[in-house]
């Protein structure tokens, strides 16, 4: 199946741009270019949304949690806690708003974004522990922040989907308040080395995320120290998935981590956890973040509907 035409045109333009420019050399240059490219897809923050940045203490430092609050919310509002992607080594609060999409216009809830520290300077478990700390901080300060602690859903995209899934496992095992739902967008859930010769017709010809890139990202996150089969690194290796919140998983047809999300749904079903998965055809890893495609609007609607139902208690029977 060919790619969605608007996506193919963008890939062609990016390929032509790469042909005439030297690739970034340092990690910081790569981050700067990737973040700037992501911000090109930003459709703008609604005028009625107030954004406040909060400093949150964590082990050996501080992180920032940004709270987006649309006008007209009740004094005690539900919340969606969203974790950005970027291979654990790039991305920030601004790219998180791009990935989040127009949800503040579609759901009557506050949104929290977490600026976790990045690998390789801060390899596993720092990014995960930062996300857990931000989540725990929301609960500890819910009264001051005007949040309903019983109605907090978590979600994330790509590496953020990995961190959101791992956060739910940590919350269960540490007896933290459990999120009311987990929304995993193109999640990477198995960080063992990917076969770079696998599925040759699916990904490599389209310029999307490749197995080689995944392996590089895994190495940056794990720093050659952590076992990739650690269940808090690779949730697919968690032997017991019982007691987790309902899940909605979205995957892309042309994505080397596509099957991981679908396998995770199967594992959760086997453990008695309700959930649903949607495979978006003719798209690359998270390609619907790009405006100008039908799926940009529809996947945003799907996420909004999932969050809305999670926060009103109607997602799962």
The residues that are catalytic are: 158, 255, 285
User: Based on the number of CB atoms within 10 Å of its own CB, is 19 exposed (0-12), middle (13-18) or buried (19 or more)?
Assistant: exposed
Task: Please compute Rg for the chain using Cα positions.
Answer: 18
Secondary structure of residue 279 in the 3-state scheme = strand
- What is the b/e burial string over 272-287, where b = at least 16 CB atoms within 10 angstroms of the residue's CB? ebebebeebebbbbbb
**Dist CA 176 CA 152 (whole Å):** 12
**Dist CA 267 CA 38 (whole Å):** 32
Contact 35, 91 (CB under 8 A): yes
Contact 120, 214 (CB under 8 A): no
**Dist CA 66 CA 97 (whole Å):** 10
Nearest Cα to Cα of residue 280 among 266, 290, 265, 295: 295
What does 12-62 look like in DSSP terms, one character per residue?
HHHHHHHHTSPPP-SHHHHHHHHHHHHHTT-----TTEEEEEEEEEETTEE
Bridge partners of 155, per DSSP, are 82, 183
């Amino acid at each position: 199946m060919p790619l969605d035409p608007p996506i193919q045109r963008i890939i062609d333009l990016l390929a032509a741009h790469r042909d005439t420019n030297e690739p970034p050399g340092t990690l910081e240059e790569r981050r700067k270019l990737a973040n700037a490219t992501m911000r090109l897809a930003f459709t703008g923050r609604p005028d009625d949304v107030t954004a406040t940045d909060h400093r949150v203490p964590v082990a050996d430092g501080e992180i920032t949690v940004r709270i987006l609050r649309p006008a007209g919310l009740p004094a005690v509002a539900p919340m969606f806690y969203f974790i950005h992607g970027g291979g654990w080594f790039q991305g920030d609060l601004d790219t998180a708003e791009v990935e989040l999409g127009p949800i503040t216009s579609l759901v009557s809830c506050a949104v929290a974004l977490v600026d976790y520290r990045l690998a390789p300077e801060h390899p596993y478990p720092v990014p995960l522990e930062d996300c857990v700390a931000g989540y725990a901080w929301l609960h500890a300060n819910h009264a001051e922040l005007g949040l309903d602690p019983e109605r907090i859903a978590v979600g994330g995209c790509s590496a953020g989907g990995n961190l959101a899934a791992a956060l739910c496992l940590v919350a269960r095992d540490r007896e933290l308040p459990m999120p009311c739902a987990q929304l995993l967008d193109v999640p990477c859930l198995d960080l063992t080395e990917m076969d770079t010769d696998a599925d040759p017709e699916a990904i490599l010809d389209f310029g999307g995320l490749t197995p080689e890139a995944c392996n590089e990202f895994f190495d940056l996150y794990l720093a050659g120290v952590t076992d990739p089969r650690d269940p808090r690194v690779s949730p697919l290796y968690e032997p017991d998935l019982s007691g987790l919140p309902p899940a909605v998983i979205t995957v892309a047809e042309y994505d080397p981590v596509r099957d991981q999300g679908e396998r995770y749904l199967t594992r959760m079903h086997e453990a008695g956890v309700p959930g649903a998965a949607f495979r978006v055809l003719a798209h690359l890893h998270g390609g619907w973040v790009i405006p100008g495609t039908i799926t940009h609007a529809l996947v945003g609607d799907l996420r909004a509907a999932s969050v809305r139902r999670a926060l009103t208690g109607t997602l799962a029977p």
